[in-house]
A and B are shown apart, each in its own frame.
Chain A
Amino acid sequence: MHELGIARDILDIAVAEAEKHGGCRITRVDLEVGVLRGVVPENLAFLFGHVAMGTIAEGARLAIEEQPARVACEACGPVEARGFTIACPACGSPAVKVEGGDALRILSIDIDDSLPAREA
């Protein structure tokens, strides 16, 4: 359910940025999402499409790049993890600290300055 709030925040940031550049249509938004955020990319893309309707971001593609998590294991050192993990993926030790994998960042937007700005 929390993807909806995230979708709204992405839209707000993207629209504010596009408006600084003349309010042109947004065609693409690039995001980095850590695997530990519990965000389902398809849900986020769907909800973004929904909240973007009737705005200058209507129809924009949400391109999501997943950031892996790293597990710092006392025995093995840093090990990459594909999702939330409770133990070291290499040796199984529970004495791990999960680092990274919690990004939730809007990287860039693509705006089409050849199209006229649409009424929001």
Chain B
Amino acid sequence: MKVDIERQIQQSAEETAGKIRDLLAARKVFAVNLISSPGSGKTTLIESAIEALRGKKRVSVVEGDIETDIDAARIRKHGVQVHQINTRSSCHVPPFLLLSALDHIDLDATDLLFVENVGNLVCPAEVPLGEDLRVVALSVAEGDEKPLKYPLVFKTSDILVITKTDLLPYVKFDPGRVKAAARAVNPRVEIFEVSAVTGSGISSFLERIEELCGRKTG
């Protein structure tokens, strides 16, 4: 006997993302979904943002990792609200875990929320988190062909941050090639080049984040 079902699987991903979006709108929080390969410098970027925006924007952080609260411990040292998600077998932060993580963050005391996704250029790109801004980071040590090999994350991101530019003398990486490849998949992407070691480019990236955040949170 055939039983018709016609039901969306994981419809809840979009639905839950919608709930997150509504919650963040009601509480006037600007959320950034930060995606990159493992080790491209996501946590380092968030640490720079916390210090640079201190006194201007109240920053809170949700850390997504398969295991451990190592990254949350790094963020906690900067004295801001942070909640760690452990995704276990999941290669990305699913929206239902983010929604329950937001119970642990005082959203009324937050202007800017960073969600550090699990280090992975593939699956997080497919999963909406109800974010206002999607940022993909790519370090110069990873090779300049990545936007061609992992197009979805570059296509769906608002901002590309090329990180670790202090390493450019030591690696074969042509920033022009990355920018052209990223713009080919996403003509409207904004691109910043930064180094957490020299501090180069960090302030223009963070000024842009502050400006976009201000449009929502005032």
Contact = CB atoms under 8 A, between A and B. Distances in A.
A1 B155 contact: no
Interface string A19-41: 00100000000010000011000
Contacts, number: 75
Interface residues of A, number: 31
* Residue of B7, B8, B151, B152 with most chain A CB atoms under a 10 A cut-off: B7
Nearest to B11: A104
Contacts of A104: 8-10
B187 A94 contact: yes
B15 to A, nearest CB: 13
B23 interface: no
A39 to B, nearest CB: 10
Contacts of B122: 38
Secondary structure of the B contact surface, majority rule? mixed
A26 to B, nearest CB: 9
Contact of A86 (B1, B4, B5, B185): B185
A107 interface: yes
Contacts of A10: 9
Interface in B101-160: 122-123, 126, 151-152, 155
Contacts of A81: none
B25 interface: no
Interface in B73-111: 89-92, 94
A87 interface: yes
Interface residues of B, number: 24
A112 B185 CA distance: 48
Nearest to B14: A102
A66 interface: no
Contacts of B89: 1, 4-5
Secondary structure of the A contact surface, majority rule? mixed
B185 A94 contact: yes
B26 interface: no
Given A17-B3, A105-B8, 11 more contacts: A2-B91, A5-B89, A5-B90, A21-B1, A31-B9, A38-B152, A84-B151, A94-B187, A105-B9, A107-B4, A108-B4
30 contacts: A1-B89, A1-B90, A2-B92, A2-B123, A5-B90, A13-B5, A13-B7, A14-B5, A17-B3, A37-B126, A38-B123, A38-B126, A84-B151, A86-B151, A86-B155, A86-B184, A94-B184, A94-B185, A94-B187, A95-B187, A103-B8, A105-B6, A105-B9, A108-B3, A108-B5, A109-B2, A109-B3, A110-B1, A110-B2, A112-B1
Interface of A: 1-2, 4-6, 9-10, 13-14, 17-18, 21, 31, 37-38, 84, 86-87, 94-95, 103-113
